[in-house]
Amino acid sequence: MRVLISAGPTREHLDPVRYLSNGSSGKMGYALAAAAAQRGWEVNLVSGPVTLEAPAGVTLTAVVSAQEMYDACRSRFSACDAFIAVAAVADFRPKFRFDHKETKAETDSVLELEPTVDILKSLGQQRRDSQVLVGFAAETGDLEQKAPAKLIAKGCDWIVGNDISAPGVGMEADANFVTLWNRAGRVGSFGPMPKSEIADWLLDQIFGQA
């Protein structure tokens, strides 16, 4: 079993020191990578900038931007049996990037943005039927509608929804509460539990008990 996992945030630089990003800690993606490696699977983890160590037995590719994450995932995609997209990818990047630290005088108060590539959706269009695609949907409301809609829109087999507005769970926390859907509908919920336990539960549900 060869699994590819994207994790963490991406950074979209305006200049060498400033960037757009989000508060993803990478903990959920790294917990899934650790749980998959513990099952003896070959694990490729493509990660945006986080402060976590690569789990034992996991091959880590460190990236910064959405484009770099896409390039790293795409080149590893055809060799994987499953792709789990946990990364909180920035949806937009600055249209212009300064190669030097932008001065106040040079700065426009309106920031022009352009969309980044949707990694999961793009790979969902390039997939083989035998590959398993798993997406994540971190929402601040309407999870029961938004998560299954994303499953269809992105060409996934499974989607993991979590409500990041609930106290003590979500992007930067050590715990999570997740709800899982597949193409047939809602599978179940689990948590709040440490992300390591959530990871094992998700792998059991999606790939069968270890």
Task: Pick between residue 18 and residue 121 the one whose CB is nearest to ligand CTP.
Answer: 121
Quick check: is 22 catalytic?
Answer: yes
Write out the E strands in 54-195.
Answer: 58-62, 82-85, 92-94, 113-115, 132-139, 158-163, 175-182, 185-194
Minimum Å gap between C-beta 101 and ligand CTP is 27
Are 129 and 183 contacting, i.e. CB atoms less than 8 angstroms apart?
no
Active-site entry in 22, 44, 162, 176:
22
141: left (phi over 0), alpha (psi -120 to 50) or beta: left
C-alpha closest to that of 197 among 35, 56, 1, 9? 35
Minimum Å gap between C-beta 84 and ligand CTP is 8
Task: Pick between residue 153 and residue 175 the one whose CB is nearest to ligand CTP.
Answer: 153
Task: Pick between residue 107 and residue 126 the one whose CB is nearest to ligand CTP.
Answer: 126
- Interface residues with ligand CTP (CB under 6 A) are 6, 66, 85, 87, 89, 91, 116, 118-120, 135-138, 150, 154
Task: Pick between residue 6 and residue 44 the one whose CB is nearest to ligand CTP.
Answer: 6
Minimum Å gap between C-beta 5 and ligand CTP is 10
Burial 91-103 (b: 16+ CB within 10 A, else e): eebbeeebeeebe
Minimum Å gap between C-beta 120 and ligand CTP is 3
Catalytic residues: 22
